Structure 1
Amino acid sequence: MLREPSRTTRRATSVLLVVVALAAAAVVAVLVGRLSAASPSSASPAAPALADRAAGDDGDVAEGTTVFDDVAAVTNLEPGLLDAIRRAAADASLDGVAFEVNDGWRSPEYQERLLHEAVVEYGSEAEAARWVATPETSPHVHGDAIDIGPWDAAEWLSEHGADYGLCQIYDNEPWHFELRPEAVEGECPDLYFDPTFDPRMQG
């Protein structure tokens, strides 16, 4: 006659099953980790890693790029603008604010790509023009503009930029700054509603 296992035997069996299950899970996790490490990267060639993008010379920038970095988007800025933005960044750091470069100088080819992407995103050339200029009219292509982030940095520069001759130009782009040396002795000019109101964009 078979007897029901004792409570102690059942408890020991349960503990053993839990231990075996945990060990099996650990083995599976190790194997999955090794397979993932061995598999090729799934990154698309059209979206290269940030380090690869930073090494390019078209003006594209990696996240975290500063105004002191030796990259084309920064070093190809007009010298007066570069000097002013670096002085402002140094002073802002005393207030605990760090400037990052979202955009600076851009090659004409890169600007053209951005414009094409904007047309696709916004659905028309007219709407895209509110955000992205043509290579012929963009101040970025000429090294005359810089887009600063994050928000606290753009706000700091909006408040103090005139002291360095740095002015926000467009109401819809609070991150976009250009050099206006006369602002040091006075104030920045009135904002354009968006780039389509800027006479320079009509060329």
Structure 2
Amino acid sequence: MTVLDDELPAVARLHPDLLDALRQAATAAADDDVTFYVNSGWRSPAYQERLLREAVSRYGSEDEAVRWVATADTSPHVSGDAVDLGPSDATDWLSEHGAEYGLCQIYRNEPWHYELRPEAIDDGCPTMYADPTEDPRMRQ
């Protein structure tokens, strides 16, 4: 799915400001023959919890799993404030141009994960966290 697929909840339920920035960036990226595909956007709390359980099983502990998957209470995907994009040419394009639209990679270990930081338009994207365990929003 692309950022234009309004009929899909993963896109349609993204925060309107994030979706608007994604669409503006996607329009500009298309001029460079780059298409943004949404690998994961908005997620229901139940789906987020399932992802966390699967990550615990995969990584062997919740401490390790939360480096990759947030809880339903802390995930910016559940609130519609985050999107995971691909393929790599899209994330490469956003690494170079995303700040112009307020779109920033938040975690060094997740080059596909972008969130809206409107201040980045003037100030550039903030320093990335190594992974979600460093993000104070993830602590509950």
For the criterion TM > 0.5, the same-fold answer is yes
Match in the other structure for 2:92: 155
Q: CA deviation at 1:186?
A: 1.2
Is 1:101 matched up with 2:38?
yes
Match in the other structure for 1:113: 50
Structure 2 residues not aligned, in runs of 5+: none
Match of 2:64 among 127, 134, 157: 127
Task: Give the Cα–Cα distance (whole angstroms) in 2 for the partners of residues 197 and 68 of structure 1.
Answer: 32
Task: Give the Cα–Cα distance (whole angstroms) in 1 for the partners of residues 96 and 83 of structure 2.
Answer: 16
Of structures 1 and 2, the one scoring higher in RCO (CA 8 A, sep 6+) is 2
Match in the other structure for 2:125: 188
Task: Give the Cα–Cα distance (whole angstroms) in 1 for the partners of residues 52 and 92 of structure 2.
Answer: 26
Match in the other structure for 2:3: 67
Task: Give the Cα–Cα distance (whole angstroms) in 1 for the partners of residues 46 and 124 of structure 2.
Answer: 34
Aligned-pair RMSD on alpha carbons? 0.5
Task: Give the Cα–Cα distance (whole angstroms) in 2 for the partners of residues 149 and 109 of structure 1.
Answer: 24
Letter of the structure 1 residue corresponding to residue 9 of structure 2: A
Could you say what secondary structure the match of 1:185 adopts? helix
Letter of the structure 1 residue corresponding to residue 4 of structure 2: F
Is 1:199 matched up with 2:139?
no
TM-score (structure 1 length as normaliser) = 0.68
**Which is higher, the Rg of structure 1 or of structure 2?**
1
More helix by share: 1
Letter of the structure 2 residue corresponding to residue 109 of structure 1: A
C-alpha deviations, 1:121-143, integer Å up to 9, x for none? 11110110000000000000000
TM-score (structure 2 length as normaliser) = 0.98
Runs of 4+ in structure 1 over 4 Å off: none
Could you say what secondary structure the match of 2:57 adopts? helix
Q: Count residues with an aligned counterpart.
A: 139
Match in the other structure for 2:104: 167
Letter of the structure 1 residue corresponding to residue 42 of structure 2: W
